[in-house]
Structure formats: C-alpha cells, structure tokens
Structure 1
Amino acid sequence: MQRKTVLLLGANSDVAKAAILLYAAKGFRIIAASRSTDALQAFADQQSFPKELLTILYFDAADFDSHAGFYQQLPEKPHIVVYAAGYLKNNEEALLDFPGSFRMMQVHYAGAVSILNIIAMDTENVRLERIIGLSSLSGVRGRKSNFIYGSTKSAFTQYLAGLRQYLFNRRVTVNVIVAGYIRSKMTAGLHLPESLMLEPDFIAKAVVEAGNSLIVVPGFKWKLIYTILKWMPERLVARLP
C-alpha cells in the first residue's frame, strides 16, 4: 500500500513538530518545510526519523516569488497540506512598527494565499485530499488588544472558507484549526491565563484528526469562548481587554 504524503509549511512551529510525530506514527511520508531547516534537522535527528520518511526543505512564506519553484521541486505531490507558519508582534509594537505588522500579514495571509493557490490549482495532483490551516480565535472578532494580529488570522480563515467551497467539487476538504492560547515559543513571555493554555500536541492531534467541518476549535473551554465571541454584541466586545 502506497504511503500518503503530508506537506507541513512552517514546520518548525511547536504545533507542526508535534504533528510530524503524529503523522509519522500513522505511517505518513512527511515533507517538512521551514526557514529553520537546521532546527528541523536537529529535531529529526533527535527523533531518529528514517531518511526515507522525512524530507526537510527550505520554505519562506514571505518570499512569494520562490513559491512556484518550491512546489515544483517537491519530491512528490502531497495528499495533505498543513499551513502552520506564524509570526507575532504584540499590538502596541505592531501599531508603531509597520514592517512588523506587514510581516504578520505576509506570513499569516499573503504567503498562505500564494502557496496554497499554487497547490490548489495543480489539478494534475489528483491525490490532494485535504488542506488544513492553523488560525486563531484572535481572528473571530476585532479586539483592541490584538486586532492587527487578529486581522491577519481573520483574513486567513475567510480565505480558507472560500477555498473550501472552490475545491468542493474536487472532493478536497479544507479545515481551519481555530486555536486558543498555545504554550509555544511564539507565546513565551506573554502573560496569558494558565487555565486556558493548550499544549502543542493537543492542537496537533486536532490537526491530524480533522474531520469534515470547516471550523475546528480544540478544547471545550475554547469552543465556549469561540461561541460567545462570535455572537457577543459589539457593545460588550468593546469592553473586553
């Protein structure tokens, strides 16, 4: 039986590395792509992955001109694609530092649209069955504490929602993992409620086990928060931190 292949974009994130372990346990062949290829190689060496099961490639979400060439040189076309690239500037810094804001736009939205359009439009890859994007509850409603970061995630979520409809007739499933606070290197140093923190492997399990729903919200607390945020009147949202 032929192994299925998963392509992880932004594969050096904590969630992506946890997903690599889960996909490997399921027998997938893995293409892990990131700017941090040395860190990925160190991770692979630590886990003792067989070389035939894991390929590490350089991928820069913000280098749009390289995306077509990157896709064409893949050792094989994927059955599943996971977009997990991330970059974070806190809101106060982002308000004063447009290059930092622009970097978030590039990594979370423009870069995703660039590479995922290329993947989606490859109609010769009849093996493609699923595209999964790692988004955030920050993109559900605009809030004064994180609206720049949140706007990039909101745009990404809406893009994936439309892509899901576009690919429906080809029977390609698109999922959005709408995650809450994740204990990761990206959130290290932030003062976040401990009771709401989720571990990367918990989010990774939601990625690997994504079903047919567009929106996947891991964790019952965050499912409740998602529902409240989605339907909360604007006058109450304005009072949130």
Structure 2
Amino acid sequence: MDFYKTILILGANSDVAKQCILQYSEKGFHVLAASRDLSSLKNFVEENNLQNNVELKYFDATDFSSHQKFYDELSAKPNIVVYAAGFLVENQEALHDFERTFNMMKVNYIGAVSILNIIATDFSNQNLERIIGISSLSGVRGRKSNFVYGSTKSAFTQYLSGLRQELASRKVIVNVLVSGYINTKINAGLELNKNLMMEPDYVAKHIVNAGNSFTIVPNWKWKIIYWILKLSPEFLVAKLP
C-alpha cells in the first residue's frame, strides 16, 4: 500500500486514540502509534487487521530524556501529530498525594511540552502540517471539584495556543480538542451524566476531520456548556460543583 501521509499518535493506547488509528488508517495514513503499553496496542492492531498500516513505537511521556531519541528514530517524520496521552487523579486524592499529582502534570502537560517542542523545532521536517492536542473542558475554568486536573489541561491549552502562533508563519495548524465526558477507561467508575457522554469514535472523528479553527468542541451540548463556563462571572462559577 502506498501511504498518503504519516500520522504520529502519542498516547495511542487511549480509547479515543485507538479510534483515531482506525479512522486515519481508513484514510490511507501511515500510522505511528506510540505508547508505553505496546502489548495492548499490538492486540488492538491485530484484531483490526491494521498490521500493514500501523507501526508501534514505545513512548513514555514522563521520560523526558528519551524524547529526542524517540523522535530521531522515527521511520518517517510526521505530517500530523496527535497528543492523546492523559492521566487523571481525582481532586481529593490530588490534594493529598503529590507524587500522583506530579505524574498527572508530567503526562498531561510537561511531557507534552517536551516532545512537541522537539517536533515543532525540527525545521528539517518540511512535511509537518498539523499538531492536535486533546485537552478538556475541565481546563476552561477552575472549579472546586477538579481544579488540580483542570490546571494541567488549562496549561496544555495555553501552550497549544502559543504554539499555534509560533508555527503560523510555517503554515502549520495547531488545534486543541476541548472535550467533555467521554465513555473511556479513564472515566470508568466516575459518576458522570450519561446524557452528556460521548463515544470515542465520535470524538475521534472530530480530530481526524479537524479544520483551521483552534478550538474544537465536539457535540452541541458541550459547545453550550463551554461558552457558559467561558463567559460566566466568577461568583457563578464558584457555585458549580
């Protein structure tokens, strides 16, 4: 098969990332799927007969010193990069267990900055055309139920916003997907409104078909919630859980 373009998915073992693998493969992309858990990812690739489309690479978002070597050894430099790695620690635990909180920071923000800086400053890669980061509605405003996790997503969103400006002169598009509740393993066990739950393949479709706008908010219900959070005065936000 002659591949059209190369897509690098970082944190490729997430439920949304796996759906991205499927959908990018259907479009004829050569998929570089990078994750710490390669055994699970290998099973997924084999179950979906994607061996000819997908190349597995070990990637640890928290091992910053390995990022340059990881990038240098890619079989092809990417046209598109998706940062899908994520780690969630519930707020009360995050307030009392800094080791897990720090790990959340490293996966959700610091690791993203580390590898995306390397990718963005590789001027030899003339094919780079888009970088997409998966953020969260939790990062739009600080709320007492999840402000520690939300702070990592807020920082990531702001980083992507500046990166978009930095890369504009090279005509590289940067998008952020600001997501609400997704029916994924990271949310398993949490008490979430099922009427607002989105499926991973639905969210992945918005990533794969990203346009020129910086912020992507899947689902009209979440668009309304996004703007309510964005525009509400502080005293109203403080009343939210």
Residue deviations 1:74-114 (CA, integer Å, cap 9, x gap): 00000000000010110001101001110111001000000
CA deviations over 1:26-56 (Å, ceiling 9, x no partner): 01000000001000000001001133x2100
Q: Distance in 1 between matches of 2:203 and 2:122?
A: 28
- Runs of 4+ in structure 1 over 4 Å off: none
Alpha-carbon distance between aligned partners in 1 of 2:231 and 2:50, rounded to the nearest angstrom = 45
Name the SS for the 2:77 alignment partner: coil
Other-structure match for 2:24: 23
Which residue of 2 is the match for residue 49 of structure 1? 50
Structure 2 residue runs without a partner (length 5+) = none
1:13 maps to a residue whose letter is S
Aligned with 1:153: secondary structure?
helix
> Does 1:99 pair with 2:94?
no
Q: Please say if 1:218 is aligned against 2:218.
A: yes
Q: In structure 2, what is the equivalent of residue 136 of structure 1? A: 136
CA distance in 2, matches of 1:49, 1:209: 20
Percent identity (aligned): 61
Please tell me the residue identity of whatever aligns with 1:161: S
CA contact (8 A) 2:108 2:153 kept: yes
Secondary structure at 2:187's aligned position in 1?
coil
Calculate the TM-score normalised by the size of structure 2: 0.99
User: RMSD in angstroms over aligned alpha carbons?
Assistant: 0.7
Structure 2 contact 7–79 (Cα < 8 Å) conserved: yes
Q: Which amino acid aligns with 2:10?
A: L
What is the Cα deviation at residue 2 of structure 1? 5.3
User: What SS does structure 2 have at the residue aligned with 1:189?
Assistant: coil
**Cα distance in 1, alignment partners of residues 118 and 70 from structure 2:** 10
Q: SS of 1:167's equivalent? A: helix
Equivalent-residue separation in structure 2 for 1:226 and 1:26 (angstroms):
30
Counting matched residue pairs gives 240
Q: Which residue of 1 aligns with 2:149?
A: 149
- For residues 6-85 of structure 1, what are the structure 2 equivalents within 5 Å? 6-51=7-52, 53-85=53-85
1-structure distance, mates of 2:3, 2:29: 10
**Counterparts of 2:81 and 2:156, CA distance in 1:** 15
